Structure 1
Amino acid sequence: MISPNLQTRLSSIARSVSSGGSHLNISFEFFPPKSEEMELSLWNSIRRLEGLNPSFVSVTYGAGGSTRERTHRTVKRILDETSLKPAAHLTCVEASRAEVDEVIREYWAAGVRHIVALRGDPPTGLQDGQYTPRADGYQNATELTAAIKRIGDFEVSVGVYPEKHPQSPSLDFDLDVLRQKVDAGATRGISQFFFEPETYLRFRDAVADAGIEIELTPGIMPVTNFKGLKRMAAACEANVPGWLAELFDGLDDDAETRKLLASAVAVEQVLELEREGVENFHFYTLNRAELVYSICRVLGVKAVSA
């Protein structure tokens, strides 16, 4: 049963933002489908969210380049069949420099002008928690960023971790790496998901204090499957606060309330960040449109008329 208090809270939030409209810049992340059923779900989601006029949509690239062809095909179809601006994820693992350069040139030829450059998580190559790059490949996202900019005048986004990269020795080390990425040509940092706004704001302030000039965009992960969230959070060492666990406790068989909770948490998160001057938000959709669409509506982001 849905709590009336939750319904009241969402209605109150919606009224507070509806009068002035929305000044938020939004973007969405999708992943390439593995089956015909997933393909249908993805494209239903893309069509549903297209009208919200996002700044861009990103398409992920699987571990070890395992989705290379599917990523390229999805990005190409977005270019050909929608008004959206796709940003193609690209990693440097399990591929030579020549192979990666070929992918970059293919994207440029297809009309892609935005790449999300990531080191990536290979299916092999991690020993004792340490990443082992391929000898003839790009060693990291900094080298990959430089290669992308050398081949074409792409916009390049990179990943950032407000709670520190799980394989990094310190946040200061992460900041040094981010500075190198900016020097190589990166212009935007898209964050790993988090749930405490203060976590992102501390990171934003640390970047500014370090004198690093780059646009930062927080990554927002609306969650309805709490067990799945804990698995994802464990992989990237993102903190899952106790209050969030308590919210979802006992709701395994109550999908409707979980969706409403997810909306409330994400909306509150965005509004608190907006009060601190944040205007750009990247939503991890998990290829499902309805939850993200409803969150954007509550935030005052409405579909653009054709």
Structure 2
Amino acid sequence: MRITEKLQAHQRESDKPTFSFEYFVPKTTQGVQNLYDRMDRMYEASLPQFIDVTWNAGGGRLSQLSTDLVATAQSVLGLETCMHLTCTNMPVSQIDDALKSAYDSGCQNILALRGDPPINSTKWEAVEGGFNYAKDLIKYIRSKYGDHFDIGVAGYPERHPEEEDELLNLKYLKEKIDAGGNFIITQMFYDVDNFIEWCKKVRAYGIDVPIIPGIMPITTYNAFLRRAQWGEINIPKEFIEQLDPIKENDELVREIGTKLIVKMCKKLLQSGYVTHLHIYTMNLEKAPLLILDQLGLLPTEGEYNKAQVAMLPWRKSLNPKRKNEEVRPIFWQRRPYSYVARTSQWALDEFPNGRFGDSSSPAFGDLDLCGSSLIRQSPKRSLEIWSTPTSLDEIAKLVINYLNGRVQCLPWSDTPIDHEVDSMIKNLVQLNNKLIITINSQPQINGIRSNDPIHGWGPKDGYVYQKQYLEFLLPREKLPKLEAELKDNEMLTYFAVDSKGTLTSNHPDGSRANAVTWGIFPGREVLQPTIVEKVSFLAWKEEFYYILQEWELNFQENEKLESAHFLQHLIDDFVLVNIVDNDYVSKEDHIFALLMDL
């Protein structure tokens, strides 16, 4: 959705101010993965109207990371995203590539900038085949995409560093708006009185688009001074008087600096010129959320409930190709990145009725869509957090640490454990202590209200249901006993598969999907957003064993040969099993009882 339309829609319903977050592109792959997690957490904590992602000029890997961040935020995380785009080192061909990537991902917002001079250069010069000014970039975007994109422009309340003349700065700003700009995001500032005076001049000059102030949190004294000096912005006397005496105490600087920023934001919001704050996060989490908390802008329970309407147990993608998606296989419950990646290129007719993962699609098992690595940790980081297990007992301890929250992810689980499994934790830990390695799980739910803070999803006036689900690794020699126990069991249905693809099951019709999550809501059909089925399980099997192979390869490359041999043992001699307890009414834990007997 376009930013201006989204802000207007909010203002029609509420007079509460809104906010957004800016993130920059990390320099390392691991930093990117960590940023995805942080963006996700910050959204859950605050519900921003949108986020934006800075542009790394010059092409190559970092520019590609910019477009990847935008596409992932929009398509996987379901966050309304604005992409920065600069003229610096950008010929038209690269601008076209960036715009197409944004368009394809469903992004409808661009912040069009001339950009700073390239690194190691003090003078800005247009690259051959590129643009000299932001207004030219804006005109080009409009010529190629019409009104698809909302286009933001930069505003300089304390004048552009390269232009001292205030009237010329206003003239240039007006030219950018006249070229097709829809809103203004300003340079950081601390002098709120000067900002308000600047807003008066902007309006008097005939510029009537939304003005969004850029808010920079204060985290350390040195960073505060460095950023102010780099932007050539004025620091009010009050800031120096309060911060300079405590400059060696980072904790106190953050505390007092936050109070100063909160006071500044309150005055902005009372000025009549500002209804939205844009926070430069510097990829940090605590400082922006603390500012919002002290401003009283974090969402109330009612606002959370409202945001939950039309949501599914997983956050819906904002990619227009996925707008009808309402069903996903449970196997990717904790790996949304790889699931969206593997299905992102499918044509609409390959997931009828809003369902991805249709068994007729030959593309479903294609691992190439997931990128070069399926483990979202760098080789070095994976050794740090998962160590070098050499036995089933050590793997079990690693999983138990994950279940207890001491480890935030596993090779096959990108996201931290949540409170949904609290009712199962004791039994899951016990199974791992018995060396049955659990991979994924879901508790039984029989008619909990849909606004329940842990298990709820969808419109608040409904009821949600779940069948208990467990996925685990089992030694191959124990599979015949499990098969015998489940052969005539109508309530416990299973699939078991080894790394070579040998499959066994007791499903009465293995080709049909088994809904394991559903919701009943007033005025609409039953929603069945999570399923178990054979074809998608076989595709997940390929991914799961590939993850183990990647993990093993990392051990080999780091000369951890004992761990590598053990991982190969898991691949060769263990089967991947899932069991669904279809008796969602019973109070008994039938799956746990069965496995403990094994």
TM bracket (short chain): 0.7 to 0.9
Paired residues for 1:52-201 under 5 Å: 52-65=46-59, 67-123=62-118, 130-152=123-145, 153-201=148-196
Tell me the residue number matched to 2:41: 48
1:275 to 241, 259, 270: 270
Give 1:210's aligned residue: 205
Q: Which runs of 5+ in 1 are unaligned?
A: 1-20
Query: Are 2:243 and 1:248 equivalent residues in the alignment?
Result: yes
Q: How many pairs were matched up? A: 284
The reply on whether 1:219 has 2:183 as its aligned counterpart is: no
Cα distance in 2 between the residues matched to 1:131 and 1:108: 28
Structure 1: distance between partners of 2:97 and 2:29: 28
Give the Cα–Cα distance (whole angstroms) in 1 for the partners of residues 138 and 151 of structure 2. 7
1:94-141 deviation digits (Å, cap 9, x = unpaired): 1212221221122112211101101011325955xx532224211110
Note closer, same or farther for the CA distance 1:103–1:83 as it changes in structure 2 (3 Å cut). Answer: closer
CA distance in 1, matches of 2:202, 2:113: 19
Q: Which moved more, 1:56-65 or 1:199-208?
A: 56-65
Q: In structure 2, how many angstroms separate the alpha carbons of the residues matched to 1:157 and 1:297?
A: 27
What CA distance in whole angstroms lies between the structure 2 residues aligned with 1:179 and 1:197?
A: 22
Report the counterpart of residue 14 of structure 1 in structure 2: none
SS at match of 1:156: strand
Alpha-carbon separation, structure 2, partners of 1:246 and 1:275: 25
Q: 8 Å contact 1:31–1:59 — kept in the other structure? A: yes
Q: Tell me, in whole angstroms, the C-alpha distance in 1 between the residues paired with 2:23 and 2:241.
A: 29
Q: In structure 2, what is the Cα distance between the partners aligned to 1:63 and 1:199?
A: 31
Q: State the 1:33 CA deviation.
A: 1.5
Q: SS of the residue aligned with 1:230?
A: helix
Tell me by how many angstroms 1:252 deviates: 4.0
Distance (whole Å) between structure 1 residues aligned to residue 203 and residue 120 of structure 2:
34
Q: Deviations over 1:5-52 (max 9, x none)?
A: xxxxxxxxxxxxxxxx97111011001111255335423431232132
2:327 alignment counterpart: none
Could you list the per-position Cα deviations for residues 164-211 of structure 1 after superposition, in whole angstroms to 9, with x for gaps in the alignment? 000013111111111111111101110011112112111111111111
Quote the Cα distance in structure 2 between the aligned partners of 1:65 and 1:166: 25
Cross-structure match for 2:294: 298
Distance 2:39 2:290 in 1: 14
Residues 261 and 291 in structure 2, CA contact (< 8 A), matched pair in contact too: yes
Give the TM-score taking structure 1 as reference length.
0.86
Q: Which moved more, 1:151-160 or 1:38-47?
A: 38-47
Provide the rounded CA distance (Å) in 2 between the counterparts of 1:41 and 1:264.
Answer: 28
Which protein, 1 or 2, shows the higher relative CO under an 8 Å CA cutoff with sep ≥ 6? 1
Indicate which of 26, 44, 47 corresponds to 1:33: 26
Offset from partner CA, 1:34-89 (integer Å, 9 cap, x none): 12553354234312321322121010013545731111111111112223101000
Does the CA-based 8 Å contact 1:22-1:301 persist in structure 2? Answer: no
Cα distance in 2 for partners of 1:219, 1:282 equals 5
Q: After the TM superposition, which segments of 4 or more aligned residues of structure 1 sit over 6 Å from their partners?
A: none
Q: Which has the larger radius of gyration?
A: 2
**Partner Cα distance (2:250, 2:222) in 1:** 13
Deviation at 1:287, TM superposition (A): 0.6
Aligned-partner residue type, residue 65 of structure 2: R
Query: Normalising by the residue count of structure 2, what TM-score does the alignment of the two structures yield?
Result: 0.45
Distance in 1 separating the partners of 2:185 and 2:202? 13
Match of 1:23 among 7, 16, 20: 16
Contact 1:64/1:121 (8 A) holds in 2: no
Q: CA deviation at 1:297?
A: 1.4
SS across alignment from 1:174: helix
Secondary structure, in 3 states, of the residue corresponding to 2:96? helix
Identify which range, 29-38 or 257-266, moves more after superposition. Answer: 29-38
2:71–2:101 Cα contact (<8 Å) kept: no
Q: CA deviation at 1:244?
A: 1.3
Instruction: Judge conservation of contact 1:168–1:174 (CA < 8 Å) in 2.
Output: yes
**RMSD (CA atoms):** 2.0
Does the Cα contact within 8 Å between 1:193 and 1:220 map onto a contact in 2?
yes
| Aligned-partner Cα distance in 1 for 2:190–2:24 | 22
User: Percentage identity across aligned positions?
Assistant: 28
Q: Which ranges in structure 2 are unaligned for 5 or more consecutive residues?
A: 1-13, 309-598
